[in-house]
Amino acid sequence: MDPALPAELEREIFEISALSSPKYIPNLLLVAHHVKVWTEPFLFRSLSIVSNNNYLGAASEDAIRIASQKFVKLLDQKPACFFQDRVRSLVLSGLEDGIVARILSLCTRVSHLALFGISTEPAWLSMIAEMPLLEISSSIDGFFTPLGVDFHHPLFNTLSHLDLFEAPASAGWVDVLCSLPRLTHLSFNSDTSLENVSFREILAKGTSLQVLVLVVGSIQEIESEDYPFSEYRYFADDCRSVIMLVEDCLRDWEIGAIGGENYWIRAQNFIQKRRSGEIQAWQYVVRGTG
C-alpha cells in the first residue's frame, strides 16, 4: 500500500502550516523542492525589512523580520516580478532612501504599507499611488512637499485605515480627510505636533469614521501629570475615540500583518465594550498593550 498522500492534500497541509506559523517557513523550504514551490510565496506575503542596526530588535513571535542587507541580496537574486506577485503587507524601518525606492518600485501590489523612521520623498508618491492600498502608516507630508498634503489625490481613494505621523500642513485638510470615501479608521501619534489637529472637528465631520485613535508610546506618558490629557476629555463623549498605548509600533504592525491583534483590533474591541456597557462610556484611555 502506497503511504504517500495525494499531492493536493499534501500541498494543503504545507500551505496551512506556512500560514499558521510564518517563522517556520524557512524550515519548510528545506523539505523538498515541490514543498519550496508551494510555501515560498507565503514567506514574502508579509515583509518587515529593517536597517541592519535595528535587526536585533524583538520581532513578534510569528513575524519574519529581515535585515536590509540580506533583503538587497534577495532582490538581486530574484526576477522583478517575484516580489510583485507575492508581497501584500510591507513595513520598512530606518532604511536608506535608495533602498526604499527600489523596494517600493518592485512591491507594487501592497495593500498594507508602513514606513517607520523614514523621511518620505515626492518621487515615491507615484509608486505608492499605484498600489491597491487599504492601509498606510507613514509621514505623508513629504510626498507632497512643498504644497502640503492633497487628500484629493488618488492615493487616498481606497484607504480604510490611515495612521498619520504628523498633522497635515495643508489648509482645510479636515474637511477633505473626512470626506474620503472608504476611510473608517484614523490615528495620530502623540509624539508629534498636534497643534493643528482638532479631534473634536474630526469626530463631528467624520460621520463614516468607526475608530479614532491617539497613539501614545509609553505608560509613563499616559500617567504623567505634565501631559495634558485633560484636553481630550471630550473623547468620553464619543465612543469612537480612544487614547491607546502602543510601546513598539513596528512589532505591533508585524503582529497585525500576520492576522494578530494589533492596536486597531484592540481599539475596536474597547469601543465595542464601551457601546455595550461592559466598559464605562467615559473611559477612553487604554493602558494595556494586550
Percent of the chain having pLDDT more than 90?
48
Assess whether 115 and 187 both reside in one domain.
Answer: yes
Element (H, E) at 286: strand 285-286
Decide if pLDDT at 161 tops 90.
yes
Assess whether 16 and 138 both reside in one domain.
Answer: no
pLDDT score, position 20: 66
- Angle of helix 263-276 relative to helix 249-257, nearest 10 degrees, comes to 80
Looking at the 3D structure of the chain, how many domains does it have? 2
Contact 99, 121 (CB under 8 A): no
Assess whether 140 and 267 both reside in one domain.
Answer: yes
Q: Report which DSSP code applies to 165.
A: S
User: Rounded mean pLDDT of 56-60?
Assistant: 53
Assess whether 5 and 98 both reside in one domain.
Answer: no
pLDDT score, position 1: 36
SS3 assignment, position 145: coil
- Provide the residue count of the chain: 290
Assess whether 36 and 54 both reside in one domain.
Answer: no
Model confidence over 101-137: pLDDT tens digits? 999 999 999 999 999 999 999 999 999 999 999 999 9
User: Rounded mean pLDDT of 171-183?
Assistant: 92
Q: Report which DSSP code applies to 29.
A: T
Assess whether 11 and 155 both reside in one domain.
Answer: no
Select the more confidently predicted residue: 265 or 35: 265
The pTM of this model reads 0.86
Contact 192, 216 (CB under 8 A): no
The domain in which residue 254 lies consists of 47-286
Assess whether 125 and 174 both reside in one domain.
Answer: yes
pLDDT score, position 65: 85
Binned at pLDDT 50, 70 and 90, residue 218 comes out as confident
Element (H, E) at 49: strand 46-50
* CA distance to 239, 268, 278, per residue, from 234 (Å): 10, 19, 20
